[in-house]
Amino acid sequence: MEKIVALCKRRGFVFQNSEIYGGQNGFWDYGPLGTELKRNVRNSWYHDMVSAHNELLQPGDAPSKYQMVGVETALIMHPQVWKCSGHYDLFHDMMVDCRETRSRFRLDQVRIRWVSCDGQSIKQENTDAELTRIAVATTEEDFSEDLVVQALRAFGMKKKYAGKLQWDGSATTLDQIEVSEFCDVVAPGATKAGTLTDPREFNLMMKTIIGALGTDDDAAYLRPETAQGIFVNFKNVADSSRVKLPFGICQVGKSFRNEITPRNFTFRSREFEQMEIEFFCRPDASPGWYTYWRDRRYQWYLDLGISKDRLILRDHHAAELAHYSVGTADIEYAFPFLDEGEYGELEGIAHRGDFDLRSHMEGKLTKDENGELVPELNEHGQPRHRGSGKDLSYFDDQAKERFIPHVIEPSAGADRATLAFLCEAYHEDQQPDEKGKLQERLVMKFHPRLAPVKAAVFPLIKKEGMPEKAAEVFGALKAAGLNCQYDQQGTIGRRYRRQDEIGTPYCITIDGDTLTDGTVTIRDRDTLVQERIPADRVAEEVTARLNS
């Protein structure tokens, strides 16, 4: 992962936000290549899910098709939206503070493991107690090794005594033990046991103030997801665009969450971009559509080059499901910053029933004693959070039925997908240089659709009319709308290396033969095969190869 982060900075994929002022934790900036890469991720998603979408309703059911349309809604919405959606009351993480290191952690992100060490002991904060059995803690994603380091440090033992550690059970997380056991936990980086506070709730929505008065009544929130912008516009879209059920509304845009511990490069940021679909369908058809979207979204990552061994589709256990959900599955990727066998979420596909549309009609919902969703009431017997009171039902004019559609929600993160594509692309191999000597090569094997630069043009030497011919080829590629680079510095081998490092699929060299027979070489990044093609057909050929 360190190599990938270093490459991102060196070649201009991702920079730390406000770096010259020391950075701003949880925020990232994309450089020229990262901007192209992320734009290609976002555009591929929008192209495949919306613009080029042309799916048949059922196999063999031509010619009826379901439609996918886009919206772009504001980052700030009416505060009542978040009250009815549940974010105002429920969108929090449990956090805990360490009194010794003054750090704050998310409870479920602190890994702990019980350990003792040959009768060695450690002090407990504010007591005279010397503990011989403690739980050591870490927030590192590759936690196994770090737990050993923490345990040795806690007991004041050298590395060579790691064998003396007696582990009790396997690693778990802080939210899995009783708060009464916190007095035996040595927090990450702490020297004593028992320095953690009791857990507290922390709402993840970012607050802001609208208008000049600046009172609490003017408080609003930056959206923590793009989905609610779709739900509140369901009726507008249905009434204005003549879509018929089933149909999908899609949105790509920024979301904000006040993450307690942003980390793992862009994986967990406080500002990030989502690519979300709300697919509205008849309640009786929703289980089928859930399976359909779960499989289709998984395949999307494979089609763009993620390998099957690093991508899993994980169905949530019944206990993990939100109360309104029939099913939820996560698409997860084996990011290199995770421990062996651990995966990080790229996308969640959730069956949300009619929960969202009903909440915006009736107010915040809760489950009654029979398991039915009903409006949540306050101590005066009135709705705790009032809904819009608007009718968000749908009239099916073929079945002559009115109902509230059910929703399938594939919700993906553009930054997490971009990071997964960056990690997947990273390869090191060895290739012979001009003298036949093997040289280390760093090559980013991006899918051609995602590659930030599609082609590079090199005149072999800076004279004999080659730069002029190269400029012509470069101009034709640009005119075809392809992002390409022109490079005449250094040996051809070095120019190839520079392009391999940023994942350019094709390099085109203009040489002596170009001037006599009008052909150039085109070199493929992955196969390294070089072929001669007519110079005046380069743009056509590159476009065809990119689309093949």
* Region from 162-170, 269-277, 303-311, 355-363 binding ligand ATP, contact rule CB under 6 A: 269-277
Instruction: Work out whether 345 is an interface residue with ligand ATP (CB under 6 A).
Output: yes
Instruction: Work out whether 347 is an interface residue with ligand ATP (CB under 6 A).
Output: yes
Q: What b/e sequence results for 290-321 when a residue is b if at least 16 CB atoms lie within 10 Å of its CB, and e otherwise?
A: bebbbeebbebbeebbbeeebbebeeeeeeee
Tell me how far, at minimum, the Cβ of 510 lies from ligand ATP, in Å.
43
From 348, 363, 387, 503, residue interacting with ligand ATP (rule: CB under 6 A)? 348
Which 146-175 residues touch ligand ATP, going by CB under 6 A?
none
Choice between 139 and 274, CB closer to ligand ATP: 274
CA dihedral 506, 508, 509, 512 (to 10 degrees): 140
Choice between 257 and 497, CB closer to ligand ATP: 257
Q: For the chain, what percentages of helix, strand and coil (3-state, to nearest 5) are there?
A: 35, 30, 35
- Name the token pair of 62: 């031509």
From 38, 360, 406, 416, residue interacting with ligand ATP (rule: CB under 6 A)? 416
Cα separation values, 5 from 9, 365, 415, Å: 6, 44, 14
Q: Do 445 and 328 touch, CB atoms closer than 8 A?
A: no
- For 535, phi and psi rounded to 5 degrees? -60, -35
Tell me how far, at minimum, the Cβ of 288 lies from ligand ATP, in Å.
22
Residues 6+ away with beta carbon under 8 Å from 148? 162, 165
Q: Do 325 and 373 touch, CB atoms closer than 8 A?
A: no
Q: What is the CA radius of gyration of the chain?
A: 28
Instruction: Work out whether 360 is an interface residue with ligand ATP (CB under 6 A).
Output: no
Instruction: Work out whether 272 is an interface residue with ligand ATP (CB under 6 A).
Output: yes
CA distance 272 to 14: 13
CA distance 247 to 239: 13
- Name the token pair of 78: 């009416």
* Region from 187-195, 412-420, 446-454, 510-518 binding ligand ATP, contact rule CB under 6 A: 412-420
From 4, 346, 365, 453, residue interacting with ligand ATP (rule: CB under 6 A)? 346
Tell me how far, at minimum, the Cβ of 108 lies from ligand ATP, in Å.
9
Nearest residue to ligand ATP, by Cβ distance, number only: 413
Count of chain residues binding ligand ATP (CB under 6 A): 16
Choice between 412 and 522, CB closer to ligand ATP: 412
* Region from 116-124, 265-273, 304-312, 484-492 binding ligand ATP, contact rule CB under 6 A: 265-273
CA distance 18 to 16: 6
From 44, 150, 258, 411, residue interacting with ligand ATP (rule: CB under 6 A)? 411
CA distance 332 to 312: 5
Cα separation values, 479 from 62, 94, 476, 483, Å: 38, 53, 5, 10
Instruction: Work out whether 34 is an interface residue with ligand ATP (CB under 6 A).
Output: no
Choice between 36 and 259, CB closer to ligand ATP: 259
Instruction: Work out whether 412 is an interface residue with ligand ATP (CB under 6 A).
Output: yes
* Region from 31-39, 206-214, 410-418, 540-548 binding ligand ATP, contact rule CB under 6 A: 410-418
Angle at the Cα of 188 (from 97 to 316), degrees rounded to 5?
80
Tell me how far, at minimum, the Cβ of 52 lies from ligand ATP, in Å.
23
Give me the numbers of helices (H) and strands (E) for the chain, helices first please.
Answer: 14, 31
CA distance 411 to 251: 10
Cα separation values, 30 from 15, 36, 382, 431, Å: 6, 9, 48, 30
Which 224-263 residues touch ligand ATP, going by CB under 6 A?
225, 257, 259
* Region from 97-105, 209-217, 333-341, 346-354 binding ligand ATP, contact rule CB under 6 A: 346-354
Tell me how far, at minimum, the Cβ of 141 lies from ligand ATP, in Å.
12
Choice between 121 and 325, CB closer to ligand ATP: 325
Tell me how far, at minimum, the Cβ of 314 lies from ligand ATP, in Å.
12
Instruction: Work out whether 332 is an interface residue with ligand ATP (CB under 6 A).
Output: no
* Region from 79-87, 122-130, 213-221, 340-348 binding ligand ATP, contact rule CB under 6 A: 340-348
Residues 6+ away with beta carbon under 8 Å from 245? 280, 281, 282, 394, 396, 405
Footprint on this chain of ligand ATP (rule: CB under 6 A): 225, 257, 259, 268-269, 272, 274, 345-348, 411-413, 415-416
